[in-house]
């Protein structure tokens, strides 16, 4: 049971971290005047891929306005 609890805690921590990354990306996009349904879709997609690198690279792509839907 202890192992399951630890695994659950790791998952919750990872999800929280992903949400934080996404929130930071959203603020950065707004600061740079980049905000559209396309960009939001890619940021949300990053949550489900569950990797920081994915979220970061999607955020950078959006900041550089390279999203083409």
Model pLDDT, residue 53: 44
The pLDDT of residue 51 is above 50? no
φ, ψ for residue 32 (rounded to 5)? -90, 5
The pLDDT of residue 16 is above 60? yes
Mean pLDDT of the chain: 60
DSSP assignment of 23-52: HHHHHHHHHTT---HHHHHHHHHHHHHT-H
Cα 42 to Cα 1, 4, 11, 17, distances in angstroms: 37, 32, 22, 17
Model pLDDT, residue 9: 84
pLDDT in tens, 28-50: 655 555 555 555 555 555 554 44
pTM summary value = 0.35
The pLDDT of residue 5 is above 50? yes
- The residue extents of the domains of the chain are 2-63
Residue whose C-alpha is closest to residue 64's, from 32, 23, 16: 32
């Amino acid at each position: 049971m202890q192992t399951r609890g630890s695994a659950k805690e790791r998952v919750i921590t990872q999800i929280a971290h992903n949400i934080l990354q996404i929130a930071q990306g959203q603020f950065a996009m707004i600061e740079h005047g980049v905000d559209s349904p396309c960009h939001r879709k890619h940021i949300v997609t990053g949550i489900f891929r569950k990797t920081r690198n994915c979220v970061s690279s999607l955020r950078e792509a959006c900041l550089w306005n390279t999203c083409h839907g």
